[in-house]
Amino acid sequence: MAQKLKMFIGAAGLALLITVAIFAYNRFTAQENLSIYLTLSEEPDNAYDQRQRARDFALTDWDGNSLRFYDILAAGKPVILNFWASWCPACRNETPGFERVYRDRGGEVKFVMLNFTDGVRETVQTGQQYIEEGGFTLPVYFDTLLEGINTYGIRSLPSTIIIDSEGYIVAAMRGTLNEETLRFIVDFVVSYQ
């Protein structure tokens, strides 16, 4: 019982922190953003009814094959969608933690490491080179048409969007996501499937 209470308090604290961050971000930006909700209850309520479905976009896999994001969502597992680039220092800082969580929990959660492939500062080759040199095994995809970045209104890297097993957005975070927080998020989305 005490463990469940601690988990609930931690989840409520994370929800409050994310809500405040999203409110502040939306308050101080001129563009309208995708509304994001964190649902902590299994019971339908106002926030639950207003959940937003993840949006589809085109992406390219490691081998150059084109696919749609909805193809990945069709697996019915929660998805960690991370926007990154090899030139981004904060992205480089969080990649080893993502790798460790992926190795531990990749069977329960789909990881989509979406490279911001603008063709100028970042190319498929520079992204692949960074992954290979680091010995990372994360599933990497390339946003060569910049549809993912534009669809989700990403303005800074890294950014991470958490999607539940039903295809609804649970949370969105800007900036480096440390391994401990990522593990907490994975525990949360897996336990509330």
Tokens 């800074």 correspond to 156
Which pLDDT score is estimated for 7? 62
The CATH number linked to 157 is 3.40.30.10
pLDDT in tens, 145-173: 999 999 999 999 999 999 999 999 999 99
Q: Domain tally for the chain? A: 1
Q: For the CA atoms of 67, 73, 74, 78, what is the dihedral angle to 10 degrees?
A: 150
Which pLDDT score is estimated for 32? 33
pTM for the model = 0.76
Which pLDDT score is estimated for 10? 64
Which helix H or strand E contains 160, and what residues bound it? strand 159-163
Which pLDDT score is estimated for 129? 98
Closest CA to 157 of 92, 112, 91, 96: 91
* Tokens read off for 126: 């520079």
User: Which residues does residue 171 pair with via DSSP β-bridges, in sequence order?
Assistant: 162
Domain that holds residue 184: 2-191
The Cα 56–Cα 76 span in angstroms is: 15
The Cα 193–Cα 189 span in angstroms is: 6
Which pLDDT score is estimated for 69? 96
| Ordered mean pLDDT values, 10 residues apiece, the chain (193 residues) | 65 58 43 35 49 94 96 90 97 97 95 97 97 97 96 94 93 92 92 75
